[in-house]
Amino acid sequence: MGKIVGRDALISAIEALLGEAVGGHGATVVLRGEPGIGKTVLLEHAVHSGRERGMRVLRVTGVQAEGQIPYAGLDQLLRPVRTAAVGAGSPYRRAVDVLGLLGEADEPVLLAVEDAHWLDAETWETLTFLGRRVGSDQIAVLMAVRDGEDVDRRLAAAGMPELRLDPLPAADAGILLDRHAPDLVATLRARVLDEAAGNPLGVVELGSAAARFGGPALLPSSLPLSARVERTFAGLVAELPPLTRDLLLLAALNDGSSLDEIRAAGAILTGAEVPTEAIQPAVTSRLVTVDEQYELRFRHPLLRSALRQQAAPGDRRRMHAALAEVLGDSPIRRLWHRASAVPGRDEALARELTVLAADAVQRQTVAFALAAANRAVQLSEDPAERARRQIWAVHAAHEQGDPQTARRILTEIDDRELRAPDRVRVVFMRDHYFPGVSNGPERLPAYAGMIRTMLDGGDPDMAVQAMCDIALGVHYSNAPAHIREQLVDAALALGLDEDSPRLTAILGLIAPVEQGAVVLERLRRFVHRTDIPPTWRADLTVAAWAVGAFEIAATIGLASATDLRHQGRIGTLSVSLNAAAAAHASLGDTRSALPLAAESIALATEIGQRTWVLGGILITAQAEALRGDTESARRRAAEAEQALSSARRFPMLSLVQRARGLAALAEGHAEDAFRQLLRVFDPADTAYFPHQHLHLLGHLAEAAVLGGLLDELRPVAEQLEPVAERSQSPALRVGLGYARAVLTGDYETALADDLTDWPFDRARLQLTYGSVLRRSFRISESRPLLRAAATTFDALGATPWADRARAELRASGETRRKPMDTLDALTPQEQQIARLAAEGLSNREIGERLFLSPRTVSTHLYRIYPKVNVRSRAELARVITAGLSVA
């Protein structure tokens, strides 16, 4: 390749990227800039350099026409390798499969993606997810994108490093022009440089046109440069034979690059066989290339764009119809070309697209489902059906995490065309996406009425989904009892079987006290059932946490997470992990809670679930406080408080106070801890939240006994006695048992309860009672309790509590050495990998669980072993098992 003018720094960065990948340190870089700025040239340089380094090069070009076909780009990218190894499922599941596939050959790989902004959404998500996980793989990902607002949003979500291409300096632009049009007169040369403004493609194409046609080739100067270069390309195409022009337009409109496919469509248009040689004039003119597999590539994307834009609408429709006819073995591609060939509305085709959209949701290609639904709306003849399809499109946008599209569609719906239940659905969705002053707890009775209207209109499935959607919001609304009763009545009117997991989840969130006993009894039946869909089990996990059944929440949450990981449902997986992490933290198990919370935050951040990111931050703060990392816990609590206060989500401030109270307890500041936690129990406080009373009484009671505040604890505990009786909440039962013990001094009764699933609370009782016995000079009786407490707290990673137990033992005359905790040297992700490896999972199995490549897992283990002073999986398992044993 000839030297690329003016791009030395960018070339060095690309060479470094390739070199790192060859050395086993993969990375992803996005080349970004305006059309014609040189992205294609740099991408070609990377391809050439990668091959010289012995890298396997896989490449794909995004095409507008294929932007709606799910995984069209990925399929083309992987065509040279064994695509059978890439299974079905979500983009995230496929990304892990691709990492495994590319790692099997044990050779460095370059994924070169041109016009990535035109990739279908599923391919984009797959590649960007993959690109963030190639750190330990021999994979370089180089993606070229144009500037634009849509690209800004995509890249902001992708979070990948960028290399921006700026216009060439004047001197470099002059060198480039002289290389391609050396004989221009000075005035024309200056004009070309002025018009091109440092854009390399503009310099080359406008300079070449000026050399051939003189000054008129540069008119009109008012056109944007990209439009002028497109016009130049169009002029080159105009010189070609008519059949060649038709083939180029077919190629521009096609969602594939097969020359044989294009020739077959050309034969339908002309009624005669089209020879391969018919494309040769375009190859000779350097407009396209055709490789040995007969794959056609445009020399520059602007040529494809010029052909599409300048073709008459009738010609485009004829081309789409011809392509549809040759794609009989590819139903989705065929349907899209048929839809593009229709000149007006077509209700039958709209119905086909609606069915296809529904199927796409089941196949987890939500972006494609949204595109199909939108096109079905455009083709709809029946106004009522059009409105229903728009509503469906809003749901598809919601599933994709695309609030902008959802809001746009909601503003386009004509309410006059809606049936009564559909009108209710639209009002419900507008309340969600356009919240106003009337969207607080006072709006909840209206929701109950809306759900009944959906039922009366014969739409029970949507009514159930609507109730599921609002349940968590109701939980955190501090709604008064009479409103919760109305919503419970609406839930019971849904017609669900009383053993329905969905009804159980709804009731557990809406009314954890009033319906707690019923919900708990059903949860115990559901806990080990594997026939419940994992998305429903995720809802059950949140409900189990809400009612204080933490052990059940942890069990169901981890079980559902396994299936959700396999399916690649990252959105629901982040929710399930969040609830499981909250359950473990509420059980005092910091070692399990922190890795789960870290993964939940990472996945929620990945797809923009800000609410669950905040939830994960607060769970992390809770676990860090228990571990003794109080500075970090307070910092996270303050971060969450700012976000929640600005959004006026005051009940969730109870979780901020939980973290602050535990941090104060960890530091031994008992009175401060009591005051922080008591805010959650004070109706006059912004952090007041009765549902958290089920969870926090044990911590409040501990702060009271340590701070000498039992008189203030007593009325709180007394008020919660009937709540415990009604709700049967396990967490409140355990908390009340501790509170009664410290208020009455009867620790024996509390310890006689079955606390097998509550090791932290059992150890807290042992520590408190052991301390009382030691201070009463019953030394021999205190020591077994204090030893057991220290052992349990150490195993859970609750270091400040373990230190208190050891201090009490020292005061009793017995010294107990603090164990070396090698696991604390590991990051949360390393801890998770270490645990899975200790369980006997292979690198591939660990990678499938955590959306990592086997090579990345191997690299992590290579770093983990010396940190914990082991040399094998067997030794690691012994260390992990020793750390997890709880007395």
Share of the chain above pLDDT 70, in %: 93
CA 724 to chain centre: 38
CA 407, 472, 367: angle at the middle one, nearest 5? Answer: 40
CA 885, 886, 887: angle at the middle one, nearest 5? Answer: 120
Q: Which residue has the higher pLDDT, 570 or 574?
A: 574
Which pLDDT belongs to residue 230?
72
Q: What is the DSSP letter of 221?
A: T
- pLDDT tens by residue, 637-665: 999 999 998 888 889 999 999 999 999 99
d(CA 809, CA 767): 10
3-state secondary structure labels for all residues of 527-587: CCCCCCCHHHHHHHHHHHHHCCCHHHHHHHHHHHHHHHHHHCCHHHHHHHHHHHHHHHHHC
Is residue 302 pLDDT above 90, yes or no?
no
Which pLDDT belongs to residue 887?
36
| Residue 438 pLDDT class (50, 70, 90 cuts) | very low
Is residue 105 pLDDT above 80, yes or no?
no
Q: Which residues contact 110 (CB under 8 A, 6 or more apart)?
A: 18, 21, 46, 47, 50, 55, 56, 57, 58, 139, 140, 142
Q: Looking at residues 409-429, what average pLDDT do you find?
A: 82
- pLDDT tens by residue, 603-625: 888 777 788 899 999 999 999 99
d(CA 335, CA 173): 46
d(CA 367, CA 70): 8
| Residue 558 pLDDT class (50, 70, 90 cuts) | very high
d(CA 735, CA 751): 12
Q: Looking at residues 309-314, what average pLDDT do you find?
A: 86
- pLDDT tens by residue, 693-713: 999 999 999 999 999 999 999
d(CA 177, CA 37): 14
The full DSSP string for 79-130 is TTS-GGGS-SS-HHHHHHHHHHHHHHTTS-EEEEEESGGGS-HHHHHHHHHH
Fold for the domain defined by 496-627: 1.25.40
Which pLDDT belongs to residue 264?
95
Which pLDDT belongs to residue 437?
41
Q: What is the DSSP letter of 58?
A: E
Q: Looking at residues 532-537, what average pLDDT do you find?
A: 91
Is residue 689 pLDDT above 90, yes or no?
yes
- pLDDT tens by residue, 751-786: 999 999 999 999 999 999 999 999 999 999 999 999
d(CA 223, CA 101): 47
Q: How far is CA 519 from CA 246, 461, 730, in A?
A: 66, 22, 12
| Residue 439 pLDDT class (50, 70, 90 cuts) | very low
- Return the beta strands (E) in 196-267 as ranges: none
Domain extents in the chain: 8-164, 170-222, 237-341, 496-627, 753-814, 822-884
Q: Looking at residues 52-76, what average pLDDT do you find?
A: 84
Q: Looking at residues 793-815, what average pLDDT do you find?
A: 92
Q: What is the DSSP letter of 823?
A: G
d(CA 735, CA 405): 46
Among 72-86, 92-106, 488-502, 646-660, the minimum mean pLDDT is found in 72-86
Query: Tokens in use for 428?
Result: 């419900």
Evaluate whether 389 touches 354 at the Cβ level (below 8 Å).
yes
Is residue 223 pLDDT above 90, yes or no?
no
d(CA 544, CA 554): 9
| Cβ neighbours, 10 Å, residue 497 | 8
In our burial notation (b when 16+ CB lie closer than 10 A, e otherwise), range 658-695 reads bbbbbbbbbeebbebbbbbbbbbbeeeeebbbbbbbbb
Is residue 583 pLDDT above 90, yes or no?
yes
Long-range interactions of 397-401: CB distance < 8 A, separation 24+: 397/370, 398/429, 399/361, 399/366, 399/369, 399/571, 400/121, 400/366, 400/367, 400/370, 401/571, 401/607, 401/608, 401/609
Is residue 544 pLDDT above 80, yes or no?
yes
Q: Looking at residues 283-305, what average pLDDT do you find?
A: 83
d(CA 852, CA 100): 9
Evaluate whether 36 touches 225 at the Cβ level (below 8 Å).
yes
Evaluate whether 769 touches 808 at the Cβ level (below 8 Å).
no
Query: Tokens in use for 353?
Result: 């697209």
Is residue 746 pLDDT above 90, yes or no?
yes
Share of the chain above pLDDT 90, in %: 46
Evaluate whether 78 touches 112 at the Cβ level (below 8 Å).
no
Which pLDDT belongs to residue 277?
93
Nearest to 765 by CA among 710, 701, 714: 701
Which pLDDT belongs to residue 480?
87
CATH of the domain spanning 822-884: 1.10.10.10
| Residue 445 pLDDT class (50, 70, 90 cuts) | confident
Q: Looking at residues 373-393, what average pLDDT do you find?
A: 88
Is residue 216 pLDDT above 60, yes or no?
yes
Which pLDDT belongs to residue 885?
43
Nearest to 552 by CA among 580, 511, 590: 580
- pLDDT tens by residue, 32-46: 988 888 898 999 999
Q: Which residue has the higher pLDDT, 762 or 569?
A: 762
Which pLDDT belongs to residue 630?
96
CA 163, 165, 171: angle at the middle one, nearest 5? Answer: 140
Q: Which residue has the higher pLDDT, 307 or 153?
A: 307
Which pLDDT belongs to residue 727?
96
d(CA 528, CA 523): 9
Peptide bond into 220 cis (omega under 30): yes
Q: Looking at residues 424-431, what average pLDDT do you find?
A: 79
Q: What is the DSSP letter of 415?
A: G
Q: What is the DSSP letter of 182?
A: T
Nearest to 125 by CA among 367, 416, 352, 353: 367
Query: Quick one: CATH architecture of 8-164?
Result: 3-Layer(aba) Sandwich (3.40)
Which pLDDT belongs to residue 844?
84
Q: Looking at residues 522-529, what average pLDDT do you find?
A: 93
* Average pLDDT in the chain: 87
